Amino acid sequence: MYRIDHTIRLLKAAAVDKKEFRNEETRPSAWTQFHCTQCGEANPLLITPYESGFPILSLYDGTMPKLKQEELLEHKALQHTHQSMLHVGALTVRDLPTLYFGTDCHKCNTPHICIFGYGEQQPGLEILEVSGVWQYAIR
Ligand SMILES: [Zn+2]
């Protein structure tokens, strides 16, 4: 799990076994796997609320974004945030605070990015939603 410091573009989407976790499924961590876009190897994804990931804003915001907003929308990685939730960012996963991390296939080292949202969607309902895992390339 690492921060991405390069300008990147998204390539192929990887298959992810389970994408939505609710309440106790997120504690202490949500666990699933993605299948490498290159070699098919199953790679574990362990996402711990409030620990895992970096704000996705740091990738798409600013005048020199590391990842273009249009590209995130095209790949359905993020959607436009509902007006009432814009304080969490212009683009999110289901209006939740949205994070990402880089992770490389443990077998062939192909780089991938995991994008997920986590938060309380309504009182008493915490959702962790993995929007997906994509292979990426440095521009
Ligand atoms: Zn691989």
Domain assignment of residue 119, yes or no: yes
Ligand 1 is an ion; residues with CB less than 5 A from it: 36, 38-39, 41, 105, 107-108, 110
Extract the runs of DSSP E, i.e. beta strands, from the chain: 8-16, 20-22, 30-35, 42-47, 54-55, 79-80, 91-92, 98-104, 111-122, 125-138
Domain assignment of residue 2, yes or no: no
Whether residue 2 contacts residue 103, with contact meaning beta carbons closer than 8 Å, is answered with: yes
Domain assignment of residue 57, yes or no: yes
Q: Are strands 42-47 and 30-35 parallel, antiparallel or unpaired?
A: antiparallel
Tell me, what's the pLDDT at 35? Answer: 98
Domain assignment of residue 64, yes or no: yes
Residues 7-20, mean pLDDT to the nearest whole number: 98
Total Cβ atoms within 10 A of residue 17: 12
Domain assignment of residue 33, yes or no: yes
Cα 113 to ligand 1 centroid, rounded to whole Å: 13
Cα 81 to ligand 1 centroid, rounded to whole Å: 33
Cα 53 to ligand 1 centroid, rounded to whole Å: 21
| Structural domain containing residue 40 | 8-138
Cα 35 to ligand 1 centroid, rounded to whole Å: 8
Domain assignment of residue 28, yes or no: yes
CA distances from 126 to 46, 74, 93, 131, 138 (A): 17, 27, 13, 16, 34
Domain assignment of residue 3, yes or no: no
pLDDT tens digit sequence for 22-71 = 999 999 999 999 999 999 999 999 999 999 999 999 999 988 999 999 99
pLDDT band for 132, please (50, 70, 90 cuts): very high
Mean pLDDT estimate for the chain: 97
Tell me, what's the pLDDT at 53? Answer: 98
Whether residue 45 contacts residue 31, with contact meaning beta carbons closer than 8 Å, is answered with: yes
Cα 14 to ligand 1 centroid, rounded to whole Å: 10
